[in-house]
Structure 1
Amino acid sequence: MGSPTITTPSDLVLRSHDDYETVFEHVAAHLQAEGGTIKKADRAKGELEASWKYGVNPFGQRVTVHFSSPEEGIVELSLTGSFIDAIDTFGTAKKKAKAIAAVIPNPIDVTAWPIREPSPTQAPVQSAPVGSTVHHRGKRKVLMAILMFFGGGLGLHKFYTGNWGWGLIYLAACTTGIPVLLSVIEFIRVLCLTQEEFDKRYNYQAVRAFQWVW
Structure 2
Amino acid sequence: MHYLKQGVVVKDPSAPHGVRLLIKDYPYASDGLEIWDAIKSWVEEYVSFYYKLDEELQKDPELQAWWKELVEVGHGDLKDKPWWQKMQTREELVEAYATLIWIASALHVVVNFGQYPPYGGLILNRPTISRRFMPEKGSPKYDALAKNHEKEFLKTITGKKETLIDLTIIEILSRHASDEFYLGQRDGGDYWTSNAGPLKTFKRNHYGPAKMPYTLLYPSSEEGLTFRGIPNSISI
Structure with more of its chain in strand, by fraction: 1
Greater RCO structure (CA 8 Å; 6+ sep)? 2
Normalised by the length of structure 2, the TM-score is 0.23
Higher-Rg structure is 2
Structure with more of its chain in helix, by fraction: 2
